[in-house]
């Protein structure tokens, strides 16, 4: 009986891993106008996808402190299929603005774009893990 229970637990854990969204993980942003970049952790929040601003770094790769660390940066993002995500919002810390957002996952690259009043800007992020 213990073997059956252990096997059932193992299968349940493997199923949870198999159901993870492919965009989940830690992503390195492109540098901003000052060359600063950050790590963003993307994970599910309910049925949607959200991202939290992790560590920040300067142009030389030294960690920098910021009151924005830990702040939610992406929210309300919904999987659309084929690596596309949309319907969410993204907050850009360098401009302190919130944009309507969409994302496109291709391998270990994530194109993130935000638009407000028809003006769009975007970056390509790289998967760290």
Query: CB pairs under 8 A, 24+ apart, for 101-109?
Result: 101/74, 101/77, 103/23, 103/74, 103/77, 105/22, 105/23
Give tens-digit pLDDT for 84-100.
999 999 999 888 999 99
| CATH code of the domain in which 33 resides | 2.40.128.520
Domain for residue 17, yes or no? no
Domain for residue 6, yes or no? no
Domain for residue 13, yes or no? no
Tokens of 66: 């910021």
pLDDT (0 to 100) of residue 19: 61
Euclidean distance between CA atoms 110 and 98, whole angstroms: 19
Cα dihedral: 103, 49, 93, 125 (round 10): -40
- pTM given for the model: 0.82
For the cut 70, the answer to whether the pLDDT of residue 12 exceeds it is no
Give tens-digit pLDDT for 33-88.
889 999 999 999 999 999 999 999 999 999 999 999 999 999 999 999 999 999 99
Domain for residue 3, yes or no? no
State how many domains the chain has: 1
Higher pLDDT, 32 or 78: 78
Domain for residue 15, yes or no? no
Domain region containing 39: 22-127
Domain for residue 85, yes or no? yes
* Enclosing H/E stretch for 15: helix 2-18
């Amino acid at each position: 009986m213990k073997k059956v229970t252990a096997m059932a637990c193992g299968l349940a854990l493997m199923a949870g891993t198999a159901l993870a969204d492919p965009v989940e993980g830690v992503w390195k942003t492109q540098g901003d106008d000052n060359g600063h970049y950050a790590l963003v952790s993307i994970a599910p929040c309910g049925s949607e996808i959200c991202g939290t601003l992790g560590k920040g770094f300067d142009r030389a790769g030294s960690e920098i402190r910021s009151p924005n660390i830990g702040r939610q940066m992406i929210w309300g993002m919904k999987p659309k299929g084929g690596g596309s995500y949309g319907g969410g919002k993204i907050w850009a810390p360098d401009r302190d603005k919130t944009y309507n957002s969409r994302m496109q996952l291709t391998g270990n690259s994530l194109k993130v774009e935000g638009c407000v009043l028809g003006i769009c800007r975007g970056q390509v992020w790289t998967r760290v893990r």
